[in-house]
Structure 1
Amino acid sequence: MGGTGMKAALVGADGTLLYEARRPTGRDRGADAVVESILGFAEDLRAHGIAHYGEPAAAAGVAVPGIVDADRGTAVYAANLGWSDVPLRDLLSARLAGVPVALGHDVRTGGLAEGRIGAGRTAERFLFVPLGTGIAGAIGIGGAIEPGAHGSAGEIGHIVVRPGGPPCGCGQRGCLERLASASAVSKAWAEASGDPEADAADCAKAVESGDPRALEVWHAAVDALADGLLTALTLLDPDTLIIGGGLAEAGETLFTPLRAAVAERVVQFQTLPDIVPADLGDTAGCLGAGLLAWDLIDAPKPAAPHPGPARPDPTDPDATEVTA
């Protein structure tokens, strides 16, 4: 689950990605509708498994944004989805005929995948930060992802980097995700360009062409992001910062100024980490959810799920095939 879209997959025992589909969350219809969308999507995947492979999935993993209590299986809170205290694990297990279900945080689950099979696989300590609808972080230490004492470790998006700045859904003002997420850049560029349909990708293209309005928007976001990352590296001292999400698709248009901005902020007692793009793209959370499911059951676990023949969802006109 992301802030705007859902990705789902069936993964075989040998790690082959058998089927993949995507759907919108439908968050504009309210929290209850979002929950029902998740349950219906999972039920459709179960039916697909039975119809095409002769058996249902043996376990399920689901990753959602916000505050997550994985032990209780509860989606505690998500500002961008409008829900609180949703017993998602139990709801999914009931809808899926009682199979075991693992619930994880979307970014920590993506970090699990990046840590096991992606850009963090050789790092002892890393921070995975996807820049999407919102911003959060996954703290990888010694091959494991740190959940925190209350399930909220890594919520870097709600570090206040601009006191008194724009209001955030969490109740604060000037949060990092209100200034440096893909959605924040999209909003700022739409206003600066006068095009309500413009988004962060359009802004990146305008930056590459030297548009001064785009450069101002982009540099403001990069500066805010560098301030947030400096706080994180001061506290965590990672050897690698892994940047993913939609904004990272801008490549060196993002990474060149970001590396320079972080380097400018690092002082003598700090060590500048490697700042690298995520390996798994926007499939990290989905692959991580699959790893959570495999971890639940007593079966040979694939070392690295890999793309196999993917079939688009026949009920979803916007479904896309996995390419990573």
Structure 2
Amino acid sequence: MKAGGLILASKRLIGIDLGGTTTKFAFIDEDGNILTKWSIPTDISDSGSKIVPNMIKSIADQMRREDYNTDDFIGIGMGTPGAVNREKGTVVGAFNLGWDQVQQVGPTITEGLGLPIAIDNDANSAALGEYWKGAGDKADDVVFVTLGTGVGGGVVTNGKLVHGINNGAGEIGHICVQKNGFLCTCGKRGCLEQYASATGVVKVAKSLAKRFTGKSRIKELIEGQEELTSKMVFFLADNGDILANQIVNEVCSYLGLALSHVGNTLNPENIIIGGGVSNAGNTLLQPTTRYFQENAFKSVRDSTKLKLAQLGNDAGVIGAASLALKFKNDKAM
């Protein structure tokens, strides 16, 4: 804050969590506490050409409202869909944004706001958020898996994000859990994403419903061509629907198997499950943990814990903001 016309030593971070429908922002202190947060719709018209200018304008407007200038901030961190070149600050392949060509996101934002920016994949940013201020619980080795429209992940080892040689680390959604299974958008078959995402749960439901001969509200919805969501599946499972419980059991068996592979490979202290599907809580966590323990190596089973995410929709902006901490030593305090 400002006092007596002087700027105090503590500075702020700006976090951006870019999504296909909403872009979230936050001003965050160096300890990871949100000071201000807001959001705007993501305008994907004209091949997403308005997205970056809208972000620049929104941040500039908020800075004016709070009487801040660039000297009050260390820098900006951003989580985005698509393939990120962290060195150049470019993004490509975010097809839900209309970004099928390389976008000069970082250089444009820096030019517009006069602040340095660090950009990473949105799942990595959420992983950093949970690691820093959420269910990571101050552990140095954490894996985050997000179950949303798709399945993403982020790996933190020795307190650092793991990216891999071609930024492919953490693609947990594309672990194969069923040979010759459902066709995935990546071109492979049997990926976890096709079984444990929000759309995957519905896919499993429709598959099992074909063989189910008893009475079930889910079967009625499918046969009546009515809407079915993963949230409804878990709700009905909690309320005793036999088919719903079979669906949840199958989904969790695939998820627990995939996470046992992650555990056997990395042996993190915590594997954190987030995303919209994780709102099912213990209905998801308990059977997933059981299947994880059945398939994990004993020393992994005894040391790696499965936990639910704690930050909800704030994980992305908090984790993104933490990316900007690397600029701290470059700015006068």
TM-score, length-scaled by structure 2: 0.78
Alignment partner, residue 66 of structure 2: 52
Partner Cα distance (1:86, 1:99) in 2:
18
Of 165, 175, 187, the residue aligned with 1:159 is 175
- Per-residue displacement from partner, 1:42-100 (whole Å, max 9, x unpaired)? 42122121133243574321101343221221224346556443332123223x23321
Partner Cα distance (1:21, 1:14) in 2:
19
Q: Shift of residue 289 of structure 1?
A: 1.2
Asked whether the equivalents of residues 10 and 49 of structure 1 are also in contact (C-alpha less than 8 Å), the reply is no
Alignment partner, residue 310 of structure 1: none
Deviates more, 1:200-209 or 1:64-73: 64-73
Alignment partner, residue 285 of structure 1: 316
Letter in 2 for 1:49: M
Of 117, 131, 148, the residue aligned with 1:132 is 148
Alignment partner, residue 225 of structure 1: 255
State yes or no: 1:248 paired with 2:262.
no
Of 52, 64, 68, the residue aligned with 2:84 is 68
Letter in 1 for 2:179: P
Alignment partner, residue 305 of structure 2: 274
Q: Shift of residue 18 of structure 1?
A: 3.7
Alignment partner, residue 215 of structure 2: none
Alignment partner, residue 233 of structure 2: 203
Partner Cα distance (2:21, 2:230) in 1:
15
Go from structure 1 to structure 2 and tell me whether the alpha carbon gap of 1:77 and 1:142 turns closer, same or farther (over 3 Å shift). same
Letter in 2 for 1:88: V
- Give SS of 1:242's match: strand
Asked whether the equivalents of residues 56 and 113 of structure 2 are also in contact (C-alpha less than 8 Å), the reply is no
- Give SS of 1:238's match: coil
Deviates more, 1:126-135 or 1:40-49: 40-49
Of 103, 106, 115, the residue aligned with 1:89 is 106
Deviates more, 1:284-293 or 1:191-200: 191-200
State yes or no: 1:107 paired with 2:116.
no
Alignment partner, residue 8 of structure 1: 25
- Per-residue displacement from partner, 1:194-230 (whole Å, max 9, x unpaired)? 3644322222111100112322322222122122112
Partner Cα distance (2:95, 2:190) in 1:
15
Q: Shift of residue 290 of structure 1?
A: 1.5
- Per-residue displacement from partner, 1:156-190 (whole Å, max 9, x unpaired)? 11122223322222222221112101232255558
What is the RMSD of the two structures over their aligned residues, measured on CA atoms?
Answer: 2.8
Asked whether the equivalents of residues 79 and 170 of structure 1 are also in contact (C-alpha less than 8 Å), the reply is no
Go from structure 1 to structure 2 and tell me whether the alpha carbon gap of 1:15 and 1:110 turns closer, same or farther (over 3 Å shift). closer
Letter in 2 for 1:156: I
Go from structure 1 to structure 2 and tell me whether the alpha carbon gap of 1:267 and 1:10 turns closer, same or farther (over 3 Å shift). closer
Identity, % of aligned positions: 31
Q: Shift of residue 153 of structure 1?
A: 0.8
Deviates more, 1:97-106 or 1:187-196: 187-196
Alignment partner, residue 43 of structure 1: 57
Q: Shift of residue 126 of structure 1?
A: 1.8
Go from structure 1 to structure 2 and tell me whether the alpha carbon gap of 1:54 and 1:241 turns closer, same or farther (over 3 Å shift). closer
TM-score, length-scaled by structure 1: 0.80
Partner Cα distance (1:133, 1:104) in 2:
19
Number of aligned residue pairs: 297
Go from structure 1 to structure 2 and tell me whether the alpha carbon gap of 1:156 and 1:4 turns closer, same or farther (over 3 Å shift). farther
State yes or no: 1:168 paired with 2:223.
no
Deviant stretches of 4+, over 6 Å:
none
- Give SS of 1:136's match: strand
Q: Shift of residue 16 of structure 1?
A: 5.3
Partner Cα distance (1:54, 1:25) in 2:
24
Go from structure 1 to structure 2 and tell me whether the alpha carbon gap of 1:238 and 1:249 turns closer, same or farther (over 3 Å shift). same
Partner Cα distance (1:202, 1:39) in 2:
38
